[in-house]
Amino acid sequence: MSGLAPNRTGWKQVAGLILAGLAMALAGVGFTTAQTPSAPATPTPLVLIFDLDGAVGPASVEYLQQGLATAAERQASLAVIRMDTPGGLDSATREIIADILASPVPVAVFVTPAGARAASAGTYILYASHLAAMSSGAHLGAATPVQMGGSNPLAPSEPEGEGGETAKAPMGDAMTAKVTNDSAAYMRSLAELHGRNAEWGERAVREAATLTAAEALDQGVIELLSRDLEDLLTRADGRTVMLNGEPQMLQTAGAQVETLAPDWRVQALAVITNPNIAYILLMIGIYGLIFEFMSPGAVGPGAVGAVCLLIGLFALNMLPVNYAGGALMLLGIGLLVAEAFAPGFGLFGAAGAVALALGSVLLFRETPGFKLSPYVILATVAVSLAFVGIALRAAVRAARGGVTTGAAALLRTTGVVKSWADGEGYVHAQGEDWHARSTAPLVPGQAVRIAARDGLTLTVEPENPA
């Protein structure tokens, strides 16, 4: 019996070890089963930057359309338009606003740096943005629309009705009232989309009111006052904006920031839609075709003129053109050309210069950022008058030089007697032998002067009569 005790103890130890091993195995299986896979890393938010610096025009529309399309394709968290603009074209402004409102990516407008402005068209774009911000020292406003023909300086100021409201516009100013009311309603609708100060927006349209950055923040025109782009992204993180009628929280903390530069097509469009460049291209094209018609076969002036004229007309199609100014320009050029071909003692030239200058001044409607430089106008008129002067000088020189070709060129020229008998014979003049008569006795080899011509017979006289 005493020999069985150790065996039982051994079996108990073995069983304990087996149970402990099973427990450890089960514990390992349980640990492995309870382990959860790691969560995927949160992608870094992307912020794309576009620079709207200068007048709002066709190139701005192209640039921002491309930028917003890129932002949507890359699923950016925010698109920021850094703005400093004096205004621009109404058509371009409305296209940009339509693109902002339809964008699936929130768009912030940041008027920066200090001294920048969001004037006229810029105010509308800022009101359309999902998030509006400015730097200290920037300002906005003066959004009154400019009428197609400009304002009438002789028109009396509009009286105010009871309570200070603007009285009904007179019939002569009906178009101005319609444009202003439409712009005011447009501004109010943009303000209501994002809960901004609609009352001040209407004042910016009707009264050309302006605000500094701090005043705009106090009056609810903008949401943020930021030092720079980094400060803007820090303050914007976690804010909720309305995107296509739905609230969306902005995620901009630690975002990857990229600035999208305009491509070559946008840059070329910006160059040719500059009013000064478009005007110069137009003048080069017109004068190039005129020179081609004056000297057929030269090819160069015609080819260059045709290309410049087409590019200039393409640019004018996108700019606020006054067709009365264009007609005056064409009249002026026509009078200058008439002075060159049919001199009118300077009257055609003077009238043409005046018409060209007036037409150039009136060619573009009064629009912020789209004005023709007076120096370009003066240079163009001066060059045109110089060409006319060169043509007139050549005409006067030709008139003073007398006839050098044709039948009339024979008169008063000299020849040599080839043969002579009984008051007539043959004379060699201008490379040809002519039948000639003379009352003076002549001998072969004698020099004679041609006095008259009757058909194919010349009347001659001795060059040095005795």
DSSP readout, 157-180? PPPB-GGGPBPPPPGGGHHHHHHH
User: What secondary structure letter does DSSP report for 149?
Assistant: T
Contact 299, 388 (CB under 8 A): no
The continuous run of DSSP H or E covering 309 comes out as helix 300-318
Assess whether pLDDT exceeds 50 at residue 439: yes
Q: 394 vs 97, which has greater pLDDT?
A: 97
Domain ranges within the chain, ordered by starting residue = 46-147+178-263, 273-319, 322-400, 407-462
Assess whether pLDDT exceeds 50 at residue 291: yes
Q: Out of 85-94, 284-293, 404-413, which region has the weakest mean confidence (pLDDT)?
A: 404-413
The mean per-residue pLDDT over the stretch 113-142 comes to 94
Quote the pLDDT of residue 134: 96
Peptide bond into 441 cis (omega under 30): no
The mean per-residue pLDDT over the stretch 334-348 comes to 74
Spatial distance between the Cα atoms of 177 and 195, rounded to a whole number of angstroms: 26
Q: 170 vs 445, which has greater pLDDT?
A: 445
The mean per-residue pLDDT over the stretch 133-143 comes to 94
Integer Rg of the chain from CA: 43
Q: 403 vs 104, which has greater pLDDT?
A: 104
Assess whether pLDDT exceeds 50 at residue 30: no
CATH T-level topology, domain 407-462: OB fold (Dihydrolipoamide Acetyltransferase, E2P) (2.40.50)
Single pTM value for the model: 0.70
Quote the pLDDT of residue 28: 45
What is the CATH number that goes with domain 46-147+178-263?
3.90.226.10
Spatial distance between the Cα atoms of 431 and 414, rounded to a whole number of angstroms: 11
